[in-house]
Copies of this chain bind each other. A is one copy, B any other.
Amino acid sequence: MAQAAGIQISCAQFEPRIGEVERNVEASLKLIAEAADSGSRLIVLPELCNSGYVLESREEAYALSEDVATGSSIARWASLAAERGLYIVAGFLERDGIKLYNSAIVIGPDGVIGTYRKNHLWADEALYFERGDLGFPVFHTPFGRVGVLICYDGWFPEAWRILALQGADIVCVPTNWVPMAEQPAGMPAMANVLCMGAAHSNSMVVAACDRVGTERGQPFIGQSLIVDHNGWPVAGPASASEPGLVTAICDLSQARRKRNWNDFNQVMRDRRTDLYGEMLGTAVRPGWY
């Protein structure tokens, strides 16, 4: 028999303020508690949600950073996760020695499960952070396999596919989406479109948690959402401007089961790796881009 149980998931969309780490973590804890009260066991928070996003210097970034072992934000999230039996995926500003990363921590009731470091840095992030050096890890939990991507990572179909090939049932996406050119009325935001397409063509659940508000002149677009393995939103898109929870129950076993389309087709097996290798692996023909 199919596994009937699902897991209730919440994205906790809110507005971090640059530099106000204490206040930001406090705001996140309130939303996490609210989500837990409603029955959610997996809660996703935005990118860099303890520090804020629009940094002005490497030194400012360094001052706001924390390492996984001793960081106070992580300790506070871990404490609530232990108390309430939760899984939390939170974007934070990581320091490892002298290096900084735009990272996400994956926390369970028993503490830190792992870290993901953003592999594709966007714009001025290149001034503050190192590129991720931990690959595309998939974290094992009692409810299934969890992958993590952060914001601009989602523009790389390679990243979603690599998580799917490793068996991820769900991808959690802490993000700070910014407005895109020429967004037409009546269409989902392009960031939402990319989540939907990736969920569908890889048969994975996607839970993307954005921030809202304007920081040092940079607006963010909210519209957090949870997409099922068919690629359709089952919660959200949330408001473009207001904080709040986006919550859905998702059956992760269906994500894994429904990769089989019919007698002949299973999207992972149908990949023509005999044709992809040269182009996708390492070789990029110079000059075209």
Roughly how many angstroms separate A165 CA and B157 CA in the complex, as a whole number?
13
User: Which residues of A160-193 are within 8 A (CB) of B?
Assistant: 160-162, 165-167, 180-184, 187-188, 190, 193
Residues from chain B with a CB closer than 8 A to the CB of A69 are: none
Given A187-B188, A197-B193, A232-B184, the answer on whether A289 and B275 have CB atoms closer than 8 Å is no
- Contact indicator A281/B285 (Cβ below 8 Å): no
> Would you call B193 and A275 a contact (CB within 8 A)?
no
A241 to B221, CA, bound (A): 35
Contacting pair A285 B166 (CB below 8 A) = yes
Say yes or no: is A156 at the interface (Cβ < 8 Å to chain B): yes
Distance, CA A188 to CA B231, complexed state (A): 11
Chain B residue numbers with a CB within 8 Å of A198 are: 157, 197
Query: Using a CB-CB cutoff of 8 Å, which residues 230-289 of chain A contact chain B?
Result: 230-233, 259, 261-285, 288-289
Residue A155 is within 8 A (CB to CB) of chain B in the complex: yes
**Can you tell how many copies of this chain the complex includes?**
2
Contact call A280/B158, Cβ cutoff below 8 A: yes
Residues of B within 8 A of A156 (CB): 201, 267, 270-272
Segment of A30-38, A89-97, A99-107, A119-127 engaged in the interface with chain B: A119-127
- Which has the most chain B C-beta neighbours within 10 Å: A152, A232, A259, A266? A232
Q: A156 vs B279: C-alpha distance in the bound complex, in angstroms?
A: 14
> Which residue of chain B lies nearest to A200 when distances are taken between CB atoms in the complex?
B190
- Chain B residues closer than 8 Å to A162, beta-carbon distance: 275-276, 279-280
User: For the complex, is A139 an interface residue (Cβ under 8 Å from B)?
Assistant: no
A84 in contact (CB, < 8 A): no
Kindly list chain B residues whose C-beta atoms are within 8 Å of the C-beta of A273.
Answer: 280-284
Does A6 sit within 8 A of B, measured CB to CB? Answer: no
User: CB-CB < 8 A to A167: which residues of B?
Assistant: 285, 288-289
B155 touching A201 by the CB < 8 A rule? yes
Smallest CB–CB gap between A99 and chain B, Å? 17
Question: How distant is the Cα of A276 from the Cα of B119 in the complex, in angstroms?
Answer: 11
Chain A stretch 128-165: residues in CB contact (< 8 A) with chain B = 131-132, 135-136, 152, 155-158, 160-162, 165
CB–CB B165/A161 < 8 A: no
User: Which residue of B has the minimal Cβ distance to A203?
Assistant: B289
**C-alpha spacing A122/B187, complex, angstroms:** 29
Q: Given A268-B284, A273-B284, A277-B282, 11 more contacts at CB 8 Å?
A: A120-B270, A122-B265, A132-B272, A136-B279, A157-B198, A161-B280, A165-B280, A165-B285, A266-B289, A273-B281, A276-B281
In the A-B complex, the 10 residue pairs with the smallest Cβ-Cβ separation, listed nearest first, are A157-B157, A281-B281, A268-B289, A167-B288, A197-B197, A277-B281, A280-B280, A162-B279, A126-B264, A277-B282
